[in-house]
Amino acid sequence: MTTTKFRLEPLTCPSCIKKIESKLGKMDGVEEAKVLFNSSKVKATYNEKNVSKEKLQETIEKLGYPVLK
């Protein structure tokens, strides 16, 4: 299990939280996905065997949220 934090551009709409959390959470190998709304970060705990950090980042970006770091 690995935990990574992705920093996004400042999040403004609270509805983004649900969107990102549920999409990431449904991905294979993702144990937990949590959006830190106030610090505009996504904290994901995942199994490296099933999913890569790049894949997670790609999903977040596809949802329309550019990852800064």
Q: Which is nearer to other proteins, 23 or 29 (CB)?
A: 23
Binding mask 16-45 toward other proteins (x if CB under 8 A, else -) reads: ---x--xx----------x-xxxx-x----
Query: Terminal CA-to-CA distance of the chain, rounded, Å?
Result: 20
Give the pairing type, strands 30-36 and 2-7: unpaired
69 belongs to the binding site for other proteins (CB under 8 A): no
Q: For residue 24, give both structure tokens.
A: 């990431």
13 belongs to the binding site for other proteins (CB under 8 A): yes
- Residue 52 has, within 13 A of its CA and on its CB side, a CA count of 3
Chain contacts with other proteins (rule: CB under 8 A): 10, 12-15, 19, 22-23, 34, 36-39, 41, 59, 62-64, 66
